[in-house]
Amino acid sequence: MVQICAIASGSNGNCYYVGNEKEAILIDAGISRRQILKRMKMKRLDIRKVKAVFITHEHSDHMRGVRVLADTHQMPVYFTEDTLRNTRHQHRPENIRLFEAGERITIGGYTVFSFSKNHDAADPVSFRIEVNGISVGVFTDIGKPCVNVKHHLENCDVAFLETNYDERMLWEGAYPQYLKVRVASDKGHMSNDQAKELVKELSPGKLKHLFLSHISADNNRVEFALDTFSDLKERINIIATSRYAPSDVLELAGITTNL
């Protein structure tokens, strides 16, 4: 069985869990170790199974807790060289593994595909994880979705997809103009509508479960994101994520390969 959960999702912290009976990996660790452990315990997810953490980019909402988490539990942390160079010293763990965007990394039964994306960081990447025959993508912090995002999303059974802002709330909201422009730019974040367009463009069939992710506290509401996707509910299981609590744990049978 494969379990998939957003431990935290939003602009104050991101951490995504993919695990099977034996092993698990985390994508990003943008909340404290204490919070990660507390939330995993709430969902009966075992930290001892986590074999590695993969970092998407250097923004603190993606790596605030990584050093303490990885050093305490002796986990390797995967960075690209440019992301590491732009990482503050207080966030650098002991056990660092470098990779290049585009590389495919194997850990136990997991294959992790990395790829470049558009975002205002040094070397932003996203990941698609294959385990037990199930393909899970983590696609947040994306300005304009590029061919890489489209290609990997097309190959997902499950995806965490950014629905950062509602267009109207952003433009009518309290952010200073420069920040509004930054959020909406090709290197900022994806709106509810952009995410929906992206999913609609996919050839139907493979994507069955979609976690609406990295929802802004200031420029969006969970209900607005859910509403945007309401006409896709028939064919895709839409799950909301939250900055305050872990999401529901999605459990999929998958293929057991070690029998």
Q: Which residues bind Zn ion (CB under 5 A)?
A: 59, 61, 141
All residues at 6 or more sequence positions from 147 whose CB lies less than 8 Å from its CB, including other chains: none
Q: Which residue's Cβ lies closest to Zn ion?
A: 59
* Shortest distance (Å) from residue 191 CB to Zn ion: 15
Which lies closer to Zn ion via its Cβ, residue 15 or residue 210?
A: 15
The DSSP secondary-structure symbol of 191 reads: B
Which lies closer to Zn ion via its Cβ, residue 131 or residue 215?
A: 215
The CA distance from 53 to 188, in Å, is 24
* Shortest distance (Å) from residue 257 CB to Zn ion: 33
Which lies closer to Zn ion via its Cβ, residue 3 or residue 191?
A: 191
* Shortest distance (Å) from residue 183 CB to Zn ion: 11
* Shortest distance (Å) from residue 22 CB to Zn ion: 30
Q: What share of the chain is helix, strand, coil (3-state, %, to 5)?
A: 30, 30, 45
Which lies closer to Zn ion via its Cβ, residue 86 or residue 132?
A: 86
* Shortest distance (Å) from residue 23 CB to Zn ion: 26
Q: Which helix (H) or strand (E) holds 120?
A: none
Within 10 angstroms of residue 101's Cβ, the number of other Cβ atoms is: 17
CB neighbour class for 154 (10 Å; exposed up to 12, middle 13-18, buried from 19): middle
Which lies closer to Zn ion via its Cβ, residue 61 or residue 130?
A: 61
Please name the amino acid found at residue 153: L
Q: Is 98:81 a contact under the CB 8 Å cutoff?
A: yes
The CA distance from 73 to 150, in Å, is 35
Report which of 143, 215, 220, 124 is spatially closest to residue 185, judged by C-alpha positions: 143
* Shortest distance (Å) from residue 12 CB to Zn ion: 9
Which lies closer to Zn ion via its Cβ, residue 61 or residue 157?
A: 61
